[in-house]
Structure 1
Amino acid sequence: MKTYRIATIAGDGIGPEVTRSALEVLTEALGSSRIAFEMVEGGATHYQRTGEVLPESTFAACRDLDAILHGAAGLPGVTYPDGTEVGNELHLQLRFRLDLYANMRPIRLLRGVRSPLRDFDGGGIDYVVVRENTEGLYASRGAGVLLRDEMASDTLVVTRKGTERIASFAFDLARSRNGAPRDGTSRVTVCDKANILRSYAFFRAICDEIHASFPDVGIDYAYADAITVHMLKRPDHFDVIVAENMFGDIISDLGAATVGGMGISPSGEIGENHALFQGAHGSAPDIAGQNVASPVATVLSGALMLRWLARQHDDPSLTDAADRIDRAVEQVLATGESVPRDLGGTASCTEMTQAICRTLAA
Structure 2
Amino acid sequence: MRVLKINTLFAFVLVPLLILAYTSVGQIRYFRTPASTLKPDTKLAFMAVSEDSIANDTLFQIRSKEGYPMAYFRKIRTSVCFDNKCRLLKVNLYWTSTGRYLGFDLPKGEFLSKAEHKPFTPAEYERMSDLLADPLSPLATLSYAELAPHVKLPDKGNEVDGVSSATAKNVLEYVVEGAAYTTYKMWHVVYGSTQADVTRLTEKSLSPDFILTILESPDLTDKIWALNHIRGFVPLTPALQNSLLGFISPTDYNLAERAIQAFGAGDLQSNAIQQALFTKFNKSGYALKKLIVGKFKEAPVLDEQVKKTFAESLTSLNSELISNVLDLFRKHKVTDADTCRLVAQLLTNRNELIAQKAFAYLNATPVRDTLIEMQMKAYKLKK
Bin of the TM-score, shorter chain as denominator length: under 0.3
Higher gyration radius (CA): 2
For normalisation by structure 2, the TM-score amounts to 0.23
TM-score normalized by the length of structure 1: 0.24
Higher relative contact order (CA 8 A, sep 6+): 1
